[in-house]
Every structure is written in structure tokens, then in C-alpha cells.
Structure 1
């Protein structure tokens, strides 16, 4: 029995394995940092930093439990399984750890559990918004037909996860600066998330997906990233009016992304560059906290 439970638990974990560093950890960090009293993302009442830190495990679980059914739906379709046989053969369906029908049943249970969890800890609206985005992304096939649509839905997903994580971590409402920051985060992701598509070009081409590097070419796609990453870094510094440690770290991460995306161009190196891109996103998440310290 224990061995069977371990097998099932590991199978479920594999659905989200590739997104732990890109979604679960960065969004959890965003939620906790954004909820701290010195942050300018939310209005603050009489709670301390300890309150947000103690809620960090709830934030991590929220991000993971909202992400899980989306990933299952994204991976259970025939085209996705064929693509994963090339790009990620260790995933549950291409490795035949379970059937597509079984995955659909798990997805339904995860949605029910997720809605119940969000009803208790917060982030229910973001969870429901995520269900709609999942339907647009997978059900309507927007991600396959349009590189602009794929980037737009991905950006909205990033914002939804960020707002949900923040709502779980904080006991207050979002400020006007916070709303503007969410818009900027969406724009940042929309214009640079094609970094991820560089990794999966072979599988995406076989699936006839219209990702940005396949539409405009790998070279031009790389230059778009190398141009926009420093632009958004400087824009974020201007928006928060800071020139401190988070700004320095963000500038260093941005420079690393730019250098790597232009000079390290094989699939293995692109995978590492995407991790650096995610680190750059995390450094941006710390800027509101540094701005609050300067008030």
C-alpha cells in the first residue's frame, strides 16, 4: 500500500516538476514579499511581518494546488503527449505512468479540492480566473494557433498566480501602485516569456504550434529578449524609484540573460538561461519591498 501511494504521489508531482522553479517558487516569493509591511503593493493594517511569513506554507500550497489541474489538462491531450515524448519524456503520460482518462479524473478531483482550499485560505477569485484561462489556453487551442495569444494567456496566468499568492499572504487590499505593478508584470512576461519557447522548438514544430521563435526565427526572437529584458529592468527601477540592492541584482540577472540568450544557443543552455530569466523575475518582485524601505 505504501509503495502504491508513493508511486501515485510521485506521478502527481511529475505533472508540476518542470514548473517548481518557474511558477511555484517565484510566485510564492512574490506573495510573501509583497505582503510584508514595507511593501507598497497592499494597504497595511495592524499585522506584522511575522504574519505573512507564517502564511508562506499556505501560499506555496495555494500556488501548487492551482497549478496542478492546469498542468494535467495541458499534458493529457494527444498532441501534448506526442510533444512531450520529445521534450519531456519523463512526464506521467508519455512515460505511461497513467492513462489520459485517469489524468482527467485526477484533474477533476484537484479542481474540487483546490476550490475548497481557496474558500478557506483565500485566492478563490484567482483560482476561478485560472480555470477560465485554462479553458482558453487548452480548450480553445489559443496556445497552438497564435504566438501572441500564447504569450498573452501566459502573461495573464502569471498575473493571476501573483495576485492569488499575494491575497493569501496578505490581510489587506491591493493599492493603486500594486495594480499598476501587476499590469507591468503582465507586460514584462508578455514580451519576454518566449525565452521558454526556445527550449521546446523541436517538439513545438512537430506539433505545428506557432510559437514566437518558430514564427519570426530563433535569431530575431533572441534579440527581442536581449533588448526587452534590460528595457523592463530600467523601467521597473524608474517605476519604484530605487537604485539599491534589488535593483543591482536585477541588473546583473538581466545582463546574464542577455549575454546567455545571444551566446549560448543550444537547447541545454537555453534551459539554463530560462532559469536565469526566472531569477530575474524574482529580483523584480523584490523591488516594491525596497521601495517601501525608502519611504
Structure 2
């Protein structure tokens, strides 16, 4: 009897671990692009009310990220088979039917969790869900303009919802609002960085991303945009001389890599470094809040 119980317990533990790992894989690629940058941004823009509210904000971000990713990967299993075969669907960890059930079950879960923090957070969640539907079900992901629109709208709603949960008040002050505006513009003008490594897979599926539509111009534009935003943020947030120099050098390095180094592996590496730059950019409003970078 005890042997059977131990076996049953091991089976249940293994099953829970398997489910947890599958959910983690759904969200893995967006920890560096959304989870950490949005969390860092909300901590600075809010600012943080308490560790408890920070934890609540992190859970809200992750649940909505899981909703977006399960929807996107359910609709793009063919692309993932080419670009990211380790993801849950192409690797066979979950079936298409199960992914669909997960995707739609997360809608009421996310709305219910958002309702704990007020109707403004529910509204942010509703817009995020709508953006996800536009991106996947309505086919906005297939064209660069629709894709960029959904990216910017989704990113902004992530930031608004997280900032309202983590902060001392659901009302956004001037620093928070202007930070969200700058974030939206940065995402709109530089998010094509994520598409450079996926040109082969996107082309095979008939998608029209910016790097496919404008292969040379997109790299030149990104190079200029990275430098311009680095200089602009250094000035706008009144960074010290050394801090400005380091941030601008990093931005120029990312832009130079994107323009000069064009293999798939180079583009993947550039995208990782771009996300480091983006994370730092989201932390810069801390200079306005607390004057932490006067040097």
C-alpha cells in the first residue's frame, strides 16, 4: 500500500513539474522582451508601494503574458517548427486542442485577477486581450504595420496595468504617463529588431515583416533610431556625463551590430543585447524620481 502511495505521489509530482515546465516554455522567449522590462518599468514609474503589491504585479504580468503567448503559439505552430522547435506545440508537449483550451481559459482568469485591483486594471486587461485577438485571430501579425500596432498597444497596456497594481495609487502621475509614451514610441520604432532573426521562418509562412519588406532600409533605420533614442533619453532624463556616455555607447553598439552583422546567429545575439538596452531604458525614469545617476 505504501509503495503504491509513494508511486502515486511521484507520478503526481512529475505531472505537476511537467505542466509547470510547459507553461514556462510558453513564456520563455518573452522574459527578456516583456516580463523583466515591464516589471522594471512599473517599479520605477509607479513607484513600488510594497513587496506584496510588487508580487501581485509580477503575477498579473506573467498571467497575461501566458495568455498572449499561448494564443500566439497556438496560431503559429508552423513558424515555431522552423524557428523555435523546442516550444510546447512543435516539441509535442501539448496538443493544439489543449493549447486552444488553455488560451481561452486564461481570458476569464486574467479578467478575474484584474478585477481585484479595480476597473481601470480590468480595462487594461480587456484591451490587452483585444490586441491579442487582433494579432492572432484577425491576422494582424501577418503584416508589419498591423504587427507593430499590436506590439505597441500590447506593450503599453502591459505597462499601464502593472504600474497601477504596483504603485501607491491607480492614478498615473506625469512621470509615469510620459514614461509610458516614450516606451510606446521606442517599441514602435525599434521592435523590428525581434524580426531580423526570423526572416526565414516568416518568409516561409508568407508574413510581411519590416525586415522582409525593407531589408536594407530597416537595418539603417534601426541603427539611427538606437543612437537617437540613446541621446534623447540621456538628455530627457538628465543623466550624468558618464551614465550618458555608457548608455549611448551601448545603444550605438546595438545599432552597429544590427547594421553590420547579419547572420541569423548574429541577429539573435543582437536582439539579446537590444533587450538589455531596452531594460536599462525602462529604468531611466528613476533618475527623475530619485536622482540615482548624477555621475
Match of 1:26 in 2: 37
Match of 1:228 in 2: 225
Which residue of 49, 54, 58 maps to 1:60?
Answer: 58
CA distance in 1, matches of 2:107, 2:241: 41
CA distance in 2, matches of 1:54, 1:249: 34
TM-score (norm 1): 0.88
Which runs of no fewer than 5 residues in structure 2 stay unpaired?
1-11
- How many residue pairs end up in the alignment? 278
Match of 2:261 in 1: 264
Between structure 1 and structure 2, the one with the greater Rg is 2
Q: Give the SS at the match of 1:193.
A: helix
CA distance in 2, matches of 1:83, 1:252: 34
Match of 1:44 in 2: none
CA distance in 1, matches of 2:45, 2:223: 27
CA distance in 2, matches of 1:235, 1:290: 14
CA distance in 1, matches of 2:244, 2:66: 32
Q: Give the SS at the match of 1:55.
A: helix
Indicate conservation of the 8 Å contact 2:183/2:282, yes or no.
no
Deviations 1:55-112 (A, max 9, x none): 32222211110111111111112xx111111100011111111211111111222222
Which residue of 165, 173, 176 maps to 1:175?
Answer: 173
Match of 2:116 in 1: 120
CA distance in 2, matches of 1:121, 1:269: 42
Residue 250 of structure 1: CA displacement? 2.7
Which residue of 10, 16, 20 maps to 1:9?
Answer: 20
Distance change >3 Å, CA 31–CA 96, structure 1 → 2: same
Distance change >3 Å, CA 246–CA 287, structure 1 → 2: farther
Which residue of 91, 114, 128 maps to 1:95?
Answer: 91
Higher relative CO (CA 8 A, sep ≥ 6), structure 1 or 2? Answer: 1
Deviations 1:16-64 (A, max 9, x none): 111111111111111112223xxxxxxxxxxxx6x34443222221111
Match of 1:284 in 2: 281
Residue correspondence of structure 1 range 180-219 to structure 2 within 5 A: 180-217=178-215, 219=216
Distance change >3 Å, CA 4–CA 292, structure 1 → 2: closer
Runs of 4 or more consecutive aligned structure 1 residues displaced over 4 Å after TM superposition: none
